Structure 1
Amino acid sequence: MVHPRTLPVPVRSPRQRLANRVNRAFVLHGRIIRRTMTAMAVCAVALGLYQVREPIGMLAATLGEVAQGNFAQAGLAIGEISISGQRLTSEQAIFDALGIAPHTSTLGFDVEEARQRIAELPAVHSVTVRKTYPGDVDVVIIEKIPVARWRVDGVTFLIDGRGEQIGEDRGTYGDLPLVIGDGAADDALVMIRALENVPRLQEGLIALSRIADRRWDMLYDTGLRVQLPEQGVAQALRRLVSYQDEYQLLDRDVSIIDLRIDNIVAIRPNKTEDSDKS
Structure 2
Amino acid sequence: MSTKASTSTEQPNVRFISGMVFLLLLLAGIVYGAWAIKQWAEDEQKSPVRDIALSGDLRFVDQKQIESLIRRTQPGSFFELDVEQAHQDIERLPWVYRASIRKRWPNSLKIYVLEQTPAARWNDDLILNQYGDAFEGAVGKGKAAPDLPDLFGPGGSEHTALDGYNTMQSLLASAGMGIDELFLSERFAWHVKLLNGISLNLGRTEYIDRLQRFIDLYPLLKKNDKAVDYVDLRYDTGLAVGWKSPEQPSQES
TM-score by length of 1: 0.61
- Which residue is 2:158 aligned to? 185
- Which residue is 1:197 aligned to? 171
- Which residue is 1:47 aligned to? none
Q: Distance in 2 between matches of 1:188 and 1:64?
A: 57
One-letter amino acid of the counterpart of residue 134, structure 2: E
Query: Could you tell me which of 89, 98, 103 is aligned with 1:117?
Result: 89
* 1:111 Cα offset (Å): 1.7
- Which residue is 2:118 aligned to? 146
Cα RMSD over matched residues? 3.3
Query: Could you tell me which of 80, 86, 104 is aligned with 1:132?
Result: 104
Query: Could you tell me which of 140, 164, 177 is aligned with 2:134?
Result: 164
Q: Which has the larger radius of gyration?
A: 1
Query: CA, structure 1 residues 250+213, in 2 after alignment: closer, same or farther (shift >3 Å)?
Result: farther
Query: CA, structure 1 residues 178+68, in 2 after alignment: closer, same or farther (shift >3 Å)?
Result: same
Question: Structure 1 stretches of 5 or more lacking a match?
Answer: 1-61, 274-278
- Which residue is 1:224 aligned to? 198
Provide the identity percentage: 23
Q: List structure 1 segments (4+ residues) > 6 angstroms apart after TM superposition.
A: 62-65
Query: CA, structure 1 residues 251+230, in 2 after alignment: closer, same or farther (shift >3 Å)?
Result: farther
Deviations 1:84-139 (A, max 9, x none): 22433455653455356696221111222211332233332321112222211121
One-letter amino acid of the counterpart of residue 159, structure 1: L
- Which residue is 1:44 aligned to? none
Contact 1:225 1:257 in 2 (8 A): yes
Contact 1:68 1:108 in 2 (8 A): yes
Query: CA, structure 1 residues 140+269, in 2 after alignment: closer, same or farther (shift >3 Å)?
Result: same
Deviations 1:212-238 (A, max 9, x none): 462222213453211111111110111
One-letter amino acid of the counterpart of residue 81, structure 2: F
Q: Distance in 2 between matches of 1:117 and 1:102?
A: 10
- Which residue is 2:76 aligned to? 104
Deviations 1:24-48 (A, max 9, x none): xxxxxxxxxxxxxxxxxxxxxxxxx
Higher helix content, 1 or 2: 1
* 1:190 Cα offset (Å): 1.3
Moved more, 97-106 or 258-267: 97-106
Moved more, 134-143 or 171-180: 171-180
- Give the SS at the match of 2:203: coil
Deviations 1:174-204 (A, max 9, x none): 4333324555734232122212133145526
* 1:210 Cα offset (Å): 3.0
